[in-house]
Amino acid sequence: MYQIYPRSFQDSDGDGVGDLRGVLARVDHLAELGVHAVWLSPFYPSPLADGGYDISDHTGVDPRLGTPADVRALADALHARGMALLLDLVPCHTSIEHPWFREHPERYVWADAPPNNWRAAFGGPAWSRDGRTGRWYLHSFFPEQPDLDWRRPDVVEAMQGVVRFWLGEGVDGFRVDALDRIAKHPDLIDDPSRTAPFPFPQPPDVAALDQRNSSHWVAGLAEPLEALRSAAGGRFLVGEVYRPTAELGPYLEHLDSAFVFELMFAPWRADAVAAVVERGARLARPSWMLSNHDFSRIGSRIGAHQQRAAAVLLLTLPGTAFIYQGDEIGMLDGPGGDPPEDRHGRDGARHPMQWSADPAGGFTTGTPWLPASDPSMRSVAGQRGHPASVLELYRALIRLRSTLKGGLETVTADPGGLLVYRRGDATVALNLGDGERRADVPGRVVVATAPGVDPARLGPGQGVVACAPG
């Protein structure tokens, strides 16, 4: 599956902001790449306090990005090429400018004074005072994103209506945003202090608390998740659950899949990565990713020389693999906006897709909302058809992926760098370290990180996939 951040994929009208017609114009790139589905980050009307995740109309389209007819046209174009369309469903909060906040305030979580020590995901208190009423409302993210109360039947019915609306427009499923925030302790009691480190990045004041009451309240998960499943029917639902792999079970009772965040944040050592993928592979339906719109790109985290090994890893694991736009050409983090567009520092991962080597990367004929990063060095046009390119490696891996069978069996996980595992008759060998490593792989090499890579002398960031005869 391929994630598109619409504002940064392709601009069709020269205003410097990507849009749905721009996505439609690039559908053939997705087909050539070989992906099976596209996930669109939000295109809904939004004041953009949180990059579009603060939604003021869950069944609308931001006029800056297109129209409802464009969504239908995109779904049709993808379907004609054998691809599915997933939308971002944001069920746990709205924009503070959503009509519900004034017209149906009962749909949100309120208190007469801050009742607990809960912290917002980006740091700071999770309660803010509403200047009009004098009461305090809960926001798990920015103050402009008040939390919905999923214990209320009208909230459940309204969000089920959102799901059904988009299914009626040709959508095939949803990536469900921030799903661990859908159930909170009904008594709004304090979160206890954390006794062991949380495995993912968090601001210090958030990391100090065990968020067992402000989020991931397991006793309250079943009803809202079943409501989403009922509305979606058999359509695909993948959950963004910002929790360790061991805590994903209750979500997978109702979803088709959930993201294994541990892979994104694992130390880039063979032993650490092996431990993460072994845990994730034991899930019935894991989804894997190594970058997205919220975190640094792969090469900026682990080193550009390791990007190809990361691609081989991602696209040979059992389950579902998500590629973030630009990863297929090895894009790195950009410099961000000046002044910043995102106040949580995520601009670097959201720079425009680079289609050609011109200064704007072929993204727009105008001035891009964020500058192009390095189109003269990395672009689709510059890599298409070149056997040694990152783009052609991704295409080869996606073709190979459908032939891989069975679960995952680790053969070697050397802290010094060598990771070897099997998928049925295929053996994957990767060098995640800094020195040369030798890998004994049976069979014929069918994909390598670059032409001429020798498994007997894997350099840093190199890797192969070999298949036994038969």
The answer to whether 430 and 287 are in contact (CB under 8 A) is no
Tokens of 21: 């017609």
The answer to whether 274 and 419 are in contact (CB under 8 A) is yes
The answer to whether 322 and 328 are in contact (CB under 8 A) is no
- Structure letter (DSSP) for residue 378: S
Tokens of 118: 């809960």
Please choose, from the candidates 3, 64, 94, the residue with its C-alpha nearest in 3D space to the C-alpha of residue 321: 3
Cα–Cα distance, 225 to 223 (Å, whole number)? 6
Catalytic site includes residue 157: no
Cα–Cα distance, 130 to 133 (Å, whole number)? 6
Tokens of 165: 């609306």
Tokens of 311: 């691609």
Q: Per the residue annotation, which of 54, 70, 172, 240 is the catalytic one?
A: 240
Cα–Cα distance, 206 to 194 (Å, whole number)? 10
Q: Per the residue annotation, which of 70, 144, 172, 177 is the catalytic one?
A: 177
Catalytic site includes residue 177: yes
Phi, psi of 239 (to 5 degrees): -100, 135
Question: Pairing state of beta strands 409-413 and 37-40?
Answer: unpaired
Residue type, 6: P
All residues at 6 or more sequence positions from 343 whose CB lies less than 8 Å from its CB, including other chains: none
Residue where the block lists tokens 């090429």 = 81
3-state secondary structure of 238: strand
What burial class does residue 189 get, using C-beta atoms within 10 Å of its C-beta: 0-12 exposed, 13-18 middle, 19+ buried? middle
3-state secondary structure of 111: strand
Give the side-chain half-sphere CA count within 13 A for 12.
13
Cα–Cα distance, 300 to 373 (Å, whole number)? 13
The answer to whether 64 and 17 are in contact (CB under 8 A) is yes
Distance from chain centroid for Cα 391:
20
**Helix/strand/coil percent split, the chain, to 5:** 30, 15, 55
> What residues are labeled active site?
177, 240
